[in-house]
């Protein structure tokens, strides 16, 4: 069940309104346009994510989109949070085209597209920070539950690769279309290894 729906980000709405009022020759227009394009790209990726998450059972999962959390003076913004009685899944959406390489040695996310190579911050590290803030927030609610992190690639035409290292990376980085099958599978793994009983009751949910 969707507990918090996905909405067009306020920043995108503000910048669209600003561009409508700016002169075509205003010196700030290119900068605002670039930010707006990036904002729209992120939102489209989150829409693709939401589409695939909707295939999860409404009876077994609660979905929160664009969730802001604050705990111990630390703040994080979650693209999505999947809540089940057995575990929580923090989701980071990436809407990239081209060939994607996660370098396990340098901890960088590299995209090759149209003969250009671009390096991005480590999404796994970002997930770990988000999980830490969520853990602190849950502690204030006296809730202890396994928290997993997932990087979901929204564009199914992209290619995802990694270099030598742990193949577990493919359990954390998935294409969004894989989510309806992978989430139940990961919950089975969690319940076998850690929590066999439900942690979150309907009252807590």
Tokens of 152: 């979901």
* Token pair belonging to 156: 């199914």
Q: Is 173 inside any structural domain?
A: yes
pTM of the model: 0.82
In DSSP terms, which residues pair with 64 in a beta bridge? 4, 81
Structural domain including 39 reads 2-193
To which residue do tokens 């929590």 refer? 195
Split into its structural domains, the chain has a count of 1
CA dihedral 129, 130, 133, 136 (to 10 degrees): -100
Give a yes or no: residue 204 inside a domain. no
Written as six digits, the tokens of 109 are 């996310």
Q: Which two tokens stand for residue 68?
A: 């802001």
Residue 45 lies in a domain: yes
- What per-residue confidence (pLDDT) applies to 131? 93
**pLDDT digit string (tens) for the chain, length 205 residues:** 899 998 888 889 999 999 999 888 888 898 999 999 888 888 888 888 888 899 998 889 999 999 999 998 899 999 999 999 889 999 998 888 889 999 888 888 999 998 899 999 899 999 999 999 999 999 998 998 999 999 988 888 888 888 877 677 888 888 888 888 888 888 887 777 655 555 565 545 5
99 occurs within a structural domain = yes
Q: Could you read off the pLDDT of 79-112 as tens digits, one per residue?
A: 999 999 889 999 998 888 889 999 888 888 999 9
């Amino acid at each position: 069940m969707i507990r918090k729906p996905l909405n067009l980000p306020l920043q995108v709405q503000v910048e669209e309104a600003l561009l409508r009022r700016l002169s075509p020759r205003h010196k700030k227009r290119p900068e605002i346009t670039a930010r707006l394009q990036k904002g729209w790209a992120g939102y489209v990726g989150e829409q693709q994510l939401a589409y695939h998450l909707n295939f999860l059972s409404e009876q077994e999962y609660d979905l929160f989109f664009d969730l802001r959390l604050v705990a111990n003076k630390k703040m994080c913004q979650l693209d999505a949070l999947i809540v089940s009685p057995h575990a929580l899944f923090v989701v980071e959406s990436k809407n990239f085209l081209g060939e994607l390489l996660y370098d396990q040695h340098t901890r960088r996310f590299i995209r090759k597209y149209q003969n250009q190579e671009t390096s991005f911050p480590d999404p796994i590290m970002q997930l770990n920070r988000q999980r830490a803030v969520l853990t602190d927030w849950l502690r204030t609610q006296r809730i202890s539950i396994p928290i997993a992190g997932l990087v979901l690639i929204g564009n199914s035409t992209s290619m995802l690769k990694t270099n030598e290292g742990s193949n577990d990376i493919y359990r954390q980085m998935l294409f969004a279309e894989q989510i309806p099958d992978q989430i139940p599978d990961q919950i089975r793994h969690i319940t076998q290894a850690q929590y066999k009983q439900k942690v979150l009751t309907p009252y807590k949910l």
